[in-house]
Chain A
Amino acid sequence: MELKGKEVLQATKEQIWSLLMDPVTLAKITPGISRLELVEEDVYDAIAEIKIGPVKGTFGGKLRLKDKDQPNSFSLIVDQKSKIGNVNAKVDIALDTASAYESTISFDGKANMSGVLASKGARVMSGVASSLTKQFFAALRNEIASTEFEDKRSNIETDPNIKESSNKSTMTHDIELIINGETHSITVESRSVLANVIREQLRLTGTHIGCDTSSCGACTVLIDGKAIKSCTMLAVQAEGLAITTVEGLSENGMMHPIQEGFKEEHGLQCGFCTPGMMMTSIDLLHRNSNPNESEIREALEGNFCRCTGYHNIVRAVQYAAEKM
């Protein structure tokens, strides 16, 4: 199993280094650790209790730090045994400067499992690893926030070539987005909203952004069949869900009935609100296959159109209702 990732932390490399090398802190932030004892330089005795899917076990063994290059990198060697199986891992950890008071920490390594752990736990192991990693970095962030560091020099002071970062939240995540039936493996910022990722990273520009208050509905997409304003959902929240954008409405060159309806009834003029309007309409028609005019108007009240006065949009939805 591969372990790989990158996080941005609001501290200098020296500060992060000092935390990671302190056994008390390390025990505190590592999930499941109940005991961590320095037995010789860079070698710890560790006991951890971990529940993984259907199996639970108490692990005991050694943690070793190798190839230390303060404050830039080290390797972590894990050698843990338990009744439910063993874990052996080697992870290379590197610290890099992002800006004056920000650093990135990246990790890259491999873990091998044996025993019950391998047979029963393997299918959930990658999920466990990412969950443990998240817990670890969350705890590390807390630790950074609550620590009064002795070394207050900024990265710039230790390396004057570094620029100040404006970026307040550059934590990234590797996620899989399923859009129009196709799976995209991408890296997104924590703060990225789905609409931006769809438009800018996946270049599906049929989904539009018309406001910054989730009031206009131009960004509406279908998520698991429900109309959702994609400007108000983080991309990471959409991981694994079935997303449909306007580009996914036609099948084999055949227009969806709602597309036909908008064309036949002149339900669009400038076309900017249209993708969102159609998505909201489809959601309505799934819930109510034969809506009357006031039900249509009520269902569409979260989507602005400035061109049509909504008159023909109502007819377009009625047309689609007949065909669906």
Chain B
Amino acid sequence: MGNYIGKSVKRVEDKRFLTGKGQYTDDIVLHQQTYASIVRSPYAHANIESIDTSAAEKAVGVVAVFTGKDFADSGIAGVPCGWQVNFKNGDIMKEPPHPLLVADKVKHLGDAVAIVIAESKEIARDAAELVDVSYDVLDSVVDPKKAAQPGAPLVHEDCPNNICFDWELGNPKSDVNAAIEASHHVTTLEFVNQRVIPNAMEPRAAIGDYQAAGDKYTLYTSSQNPHLIRLLLCAFVLNLPEHKVRVVSPDVGGGFGSKIFHYTEEALVIWCSKQIGRPVKWTSDRSEAFITDAHGRDHVTKADMGFDADGKITALRVETYANLGAYLSTFAPAVPTYLHGTLLQGLYTTPVINVDVTAVFTHTTAVDAYRGAGRPEATYLLERMIDLAALEMEMDPAELRFKNFIPAFDGVEQEGYMTQVALQYDSGDYDPVLKKALDMVGYDDFRAKQSALDNGKLIGIGFSTYIEACGIAPSAVVGALGARAGLFESAQVRVQPTGKVSVYTGSHSHGQGHETTFAQVVADRMGIPLDDVEIVHGDSESVAFGMGTYGSRSLAVGGSAIVKSIDKVLEKGAKIAAHLLEANADDLDYAGGKWTVKGTDKSIAFGDVSLTAYVPHNYPEGLEPGLDFSSFYDPANFTYPFGAHIAIVEIDKSTGKVELQRFIAVDDVGNVINPMIVDGQIHGGLAQGIGQALFEGAIYDDNGQLINGSYMDYCMPRADDLPSFEIDRTVTPCPHNPLGVKGAGEAGTIGSTPAVVNAVIDALWSGGHKVKDVKMPMTPERVWSAMQSDQA
């Protein structure tokens, strides 16, 4: 390896952010730009009786007002869903339309009914308040299990019992039932994996700009995948000519999944811009973000895990009700199914598994992928069950895990591990991560301290050993599972005549540091200085195509596409070098930025070859000029990072307040290009996973009102809520991509939540409170109540 890979190179993108020169969508002001404000439903479920826009239209500075009626004869049905899951009986899932503006019946708090466009954002907001909507309020339902009962208020009239689909994966239920019944011990847990709100710090924004002269549309949007938005916008929503549409995602202030999806506002600003002939900007405020950004999680689950007398897992049975919200967001159907059910093997040799999922509409904001997407739900389930089983069987939770781990396999000498739930793991070596984490925490000392404690406090330790599927995904595989898109990635490596290199990647960076990590890969592989490499992303006009960034896929898939293009550049470069050196291309070595004839000191530098490619006077016969290659990389498999997380908590017996004292994470994300950036990804992931355990959770009342829809009410972790993290890693390379990388973006979130909850349960048991569950977020009130209700 060269000078850069494996080193904590400081980020090249930092300077613009540190000097206030980042450019987020709301920072852009176009000539003649107008501002949009959206009139949203204050009710979760209501018939719209009338909309009077006359006062708003008359207001000074208002340019236009549109309502759902304006789309009535347009043929524009709304935004589509990108993943199809079928009912168990083979029927296609229920796929109700998601209109850009609702004309007849609103289905969740914040549903859009009108858009007001004005000369300033203040005027637009003031005028939006003049739009007079008369509603007939109807009963609503917010809980997925209640929504699926006969007689519950219907979200969509043609969707009986609000069920979008039911779905099953794994071994036959009869086999699993039999195995559970035959088990020595069965651990049963009913729990809620509560709804959380992603809350990227930059609220979503979009600018639509239609230029009639060239019949050209430009959309600026805070998205994780501009090309995907363009495809959906053109082909499924507005029926626009794709070659006339440019989508730009400039700097994006965090995504965490919530900016993957194609939102109605993106189509609205483009459509409105064409109507009024001027650019239209919409910027969400935080209150709007709380009720319109897709939410995450929201599963209600019952699970049974069987064990034999030795503690070996014999079977796992899972029934989940997954809340989809009022509409199907872009990837919503995939989350509780192929990103959740398929991960229920975990790190364990469980011989039979059955998972049964009922996906349900409710009168709430749509639920879709949020950092981890399905995998946190699977991990939470497995890791809660294992720790609870250990307590119930009076076994050591670490020992119980070692007993059940799948033995090591590298995916090269040994085959990948075939699970009971459709996936084949690529490579794994699970003992070392837990052993390392136990060493770091000082496990033996902890237990001694725990039993000796006598200060009005309880302390507890919680474990989580997780696996996840990243590098999403082999197109043919996901296509067979219902994806309506391929999930490859593209990259173009353009060598300029002077030997400088521009790389155009379809991955999108919104904090991940691609401009640095990708440049490290390019500089090392090409043997050139890092400063000679520029990474370009986020603009459909410069980047040929891209599937974007989510599912911890950027380096594993996008990075692999870059490597493919580099290989092509070097292969052609070798032909030119061979010609100039009067040697055979096979006799050349490439290293340190030059080609050398083997065994000689005859060499030619990369820059000389690139110049020759563009000034081809003395040039190989029949070879095209130029040095510029594109590649598309479709992965052979998912990648499977894994790790062990340990939390130590202290509970104040008099108040129930939980203090997270230590958090240890040992993650294996395959090869690491930039350790500093990978560590940063882990830190951020941990904070979000810990946030779900201790602080965060959307609360809807029975009328479908989000009663904690602001930062005053929704508790996100702050600096003084968290400890410094103690992290380390092991390295098990991915056997099927050229860099051997697995992905690090979601690991922290996936592993951490159950570790914290398990630690609280462990602390409670150590104090004699043998509760099975404390609902997340584990507020002081809930923990205190748990100590009162069970004084065993």
Contact = CB atoms under 8 A, between A and B. Distances in A.
B18 A268 contact: yes
Nearest to A245: B20
Nearest to A303: B719
Contacts of B640: none
B17 A274 contact: yes
Given A216-B711, A304-B201, A309 B19 contact: no
A275 B20 contact: yes
A208 B24 contact: yes
Contacts of A301: 718-721
B21 interface: yes
Given A297-B719, A304-B201, A306-B254, A270 B18 contact: no
A309 B14 contact: no
B712 A215 contact: yes
Interface in A296-315: 296-298, 300-314
Interface residues of A, number: 65
Contact of B62 (A166, A298, A305): A166
A294 B724 CA distance: 10
Interface in A69-98: 98
Given A266-B11, A297-B719, A166 B203 contact: no
A300 B718 CA distance: 8
B251 interface: yes
A99 B683 contact: no
A218 B10 contact: no
A312 B511 contact: no
Interface string B176-201: 00000000000000000000000111
Contacts of B511: 269-271, 307
Measured as residues with beta carbon below 8 angstroms from the partner, the interface class of chain B is 35 or more
Contacts of A298: 719-720
A239 to B, nearest CB: 20
Interface stretch (A117-125, A139-147, A257-265): A257-265
Interface stretch (B52-60, B88-96, B233-241, B497-505): B52-60
B791 interface: no
B535 interface: no
Contacts of A268: 14, 17-18
B122 A189 contact: yes
A293 interface: yes
Interface string A259-294: 100111010111111110010000000000000011
Contacts of B718: 300-302, 304, 310
Contact of A270 (B126, B510, B676): B510
B761 interface: no
A138 B749 CA distance: 56
A215 B710 contact: yes
A211 B202 contact: no
A164 to B, nearest CB: 4
A168 to B, nearest CB: 6
A207 interface: yes
Nearest to B727: A311
Nearest to B16: A271
A203 to B, nearest CB: 8
A300 B512 CA distance: 23
Contact of A314 (B16, B200, B684, B724): B724
Contacts of B787: none
A210 B286 contact: yes
B687 interface: yes
Contacts of A303: 719
A316 to B, nearest CB: 10
Contacts of B130: 164, 166
Contact of B19 (A249, A302, A305): A249
A204 interface: yes
Contacts of B683: 308-312
A140 B592 CA distance: 80
A300 B451 CA distance: 36
Contacts of B29: 203
Contacts of B710: 211-213, 215
Given A264-B10, A307-B684, A255 B60 contact: no
B724 A311 contact: yes
A314 B254 contact: no
Contacts of A108: none
Contacts of B123: 166-167
Among B22, B55, B512, B687, the most chain A Cβ lie within 10 Å of the Cβ of: B22
B684 A269 contact: yes
A98 to B, nearest CB: 7
A246 interface: yes
A306 B200 contact: yes
Interface in A120-167: 163-167
A296 B10 contact: no
Contacts of B256: 306
B60 A98 contact: yes
A61 interface: no
Contacts of B199: 306
A247 interface: yes
Nearest to B725: A311
A205 interface: yes
B24 A272 contact: yes
A266 B681 CA distance: 11
Given A206-B21, A250-B19, A294-B720, A165 B253 contact: no
B20 A213 contact: no
A215 B656 CA distance: 26
A308 B724 CA distance: 11
Interface string A155-183: 00000000111111000000000000000
Given A168-B126, A211-B710, A306-B256, A269 B18 contact: no
A307 B127 CA distance: 36
Contact of A269 (B26, B680, B719): B680
B537 to A, nearest CB: 14
B749 to A, nearest CB: 10
Contact of A208 (B15, B253, B687, B717): B253
Interface string B135-155: 000000000000000000000
B279 interface: no
Given A204-B20, A308-B683, A313-B719, A263 B202 contact: no
A209 to B, nearest CB: 8
Contacts of A218: 201
A296 B24 contact: no
B246 to A, nearest CB: 22
A312 B683 CA distance: 8
Interface in A189-235: 189, 191, 199, 203-213, 215-216, 218
Given A272-B202, A309-B683, A312-B683, A166 B59 contact: yes
B291 to A, nearest CB: 13
A101 to B, nearest CB: 12
Interface in B3-50: 8, 10-11, 13-24, 26-27, 29
A166 B126 contact: yes
Nearest to A268: B17
A76 B766 CA distance: 86
Contacts of A312: 679-680, 683
Among A168, A204, A246, the most chain B Cβ lie within 10 Å of the Cβ of: A246
Among A189, A268, A273, A306, the most chain B Cβ lie within 10 Å of the Cβ of: A306
Contacts of A165: 59-61
A186 B679 CA distance: 45
Interface in B467-518: 510-513
Given A269-B680, A298-B719, 11 more contacts: A163-B62, A166-B56, A166-B61, A210-B201, A245-B20, A264-B10, A269-B684, A271-B511, A298-B720, A303-B719, A309-B688
Report the 5 A-B pairs with minimum CB-CB distance, sorted nearest first.
Answer: A206-B20, A271-B17, A272-B253, A309-B687, A270-B511
24 contacts: A164-B55, A166-B56, A166-B126, A204-B20, A205-B24, A206-B20, A210-B201, A211-B285, A216-B711, A249-B19, A263-B18, A266-B10, A268-B17, A270-B510, A272-B24, A273-B201, A293-B724, A294-B720, A298-B719, A303-B719, A306-B200, A306-B254, A307-B201, A307-B254
